[in-house]
A and B are shown apart, each in its own frame.
Chain A
Amino acid sequence: MIIITVANQKGGVGKSTLAVNLAFVYKKQGLKVMLYDYDPQGSINMTRPDGLKLANVSSVEQLTGLKCDVLIIDTPPYIIDKLQYLLSISNFVLIPNKPGIYEVASMQKTAAAIKAAQDINQGLKAFVCFNEVVHNSSIKKEIADYMKYFPIMNTVINKRVIYGRSLMNGAINTENQKAAKEVSALASEIFTKMI
């Protein structure tokens, strides 16, 4: 089982939206996917995306016993006690962030938690993904110079209304080819980065 945790202590950067969209891409490719919503906001548990299986466990320690190909874990917008454990069982941590100076500056605690987890789980890969990027802007390149904590995914998720509209079925299942293409590219790149 491949475990992908989506984490950033900052709220509103698109963690749940990306977690759901990635799950839809992997599902469409025939993989058995489960989503685990550890965020007390419960965005995913509340919306219950169509056809996606939500992990129903009474404690996080049971997550490794789940039977699926890919488990995607959504985390809350603050540092939680169990974050270290979740990172210790993960193969990949995706850190969505908006391309802004304040957003990058606010990553310190998340970065410290991930670095600490990497000391224990040496196979843990961590990458930042710029989300809600204004199309055709050079902002990603400008902000990338300030991003000293982790490498950045090549795939950028642009600001698109479709992401807000497609939480129940995923952008991959809509007619918006541009959105489908970029979430697919992100899902694919995550696997590449683990090799």
Chain B
Amino acid sequence: MILTQLAEKATNKDIRSLLNKARAYKPMHNLRSRLNASLTKLQVLERFESLLTDCESNKSPMSVGNKYNILKEFQEQIKYISL
């Protein structure tokens, strides 16, 4: 629900900014370049969410610090779109 709203209201720049925070995590590395190339904003965010959920079971999981940066950016954007 939130992702759908985010995809509707956030700009490409906002979503790139969110994906930038996740760039250090290898499975998300190329997600930014796929935005509007092969995937829509919503598809990118859905992929983002799914990778984030599965990352604990990955052999090299995303660091908690990296996840914190994503969370902060996400909260900023949610605050912005709900205004």
B8 cross-chain contacts in A, Cβ below 8 A: none
Would you call A195 and B70 a contact (CB within 8 A)?
A: yes
Minimum distance in angstroms from A133 CB to a CB of chain B: 17
Fill in one digit per residue for B62-83: 1 if any A CB lies within 8 Å of its CB, else 0.
1111011011101100100000
A189: nearest chain-B partner, CB-CB: B56
Is B52 interfacial (CB 8 A cutoff)? yes
Minimum distance in angstroms from A56 CB to a CB of chain B: 24
B53 cross-chain contacts in A, Cβ below 8 A: 192
Would you call A184 and B64 a contact (CB within 8 A)?
A: yes
B56 cross-chain contacts in A, Cβ below 8 A: 154-155, 185, 188-189, 192
Would you call A195 and B71 a contact (CB within 8 A)?
A: yes
Is A138 interfacial (CB 8 A cutoff)? no
Minimum distance in angstroms from A183 CB to a CB of chain B: 11
Is A144 interfacial (CB 8 A cutoff)? no
B71 cross-chain contacts in A, Cβ below 8 A: 2, 191, 194-195
Minimum distance in angstroms from A90 CB to a CB of chain B: 13
A188 to B62, CA, bound (A): 9
Would you call B64 and A191 a contact (CB within 8 A)?
A: yes
A123 to B78, CA, bound (A): 10
Within 42-61 of B, Cβ neighbours of A (below 8 Å) are at: 49, 52-53, 55-56, 61
User: Which of A25, A69, A191 has the most chain B CB atoms inside 10 A of its CB?
Assistant: A191
A195 to B68, CA, bound (A): 10
B65 cross-chain contacts in A, Cβ below 8 A: 29-31
B74 cross-chain contacts in A, Cβ below 8 A: 194-195
A70 cross-chain contacts in B, Cβ below 8 A: 68
B65: nearest chain-A partner, CB-CB: A29
Would you call B52 and A2 a contact (CB within 8 A)?
A: no
Given A2-B71, A195-B52, 4 extra CB contacts under 8 A: A2-B68, A31-B68, A188-B62, A191-B67
Q: List 29 A-B contacts (CB under 8 A).
A: A2-B68, A25-B64, A29-B63, A29-B65, A29-B68, A30-B65, A31-B64, A154-B56, A155-B56, A184-B64, A188-B55, A188-B56, A188-B62, A188-B64, A188-B67, A189-B56, A191-B67, A191-B68, A191-B70, A191-B71, A192-B52, A192-B53, A192-B55, A194-B74, A194-B75, A195-B49, A195-B52, A195-B70, A195-B71
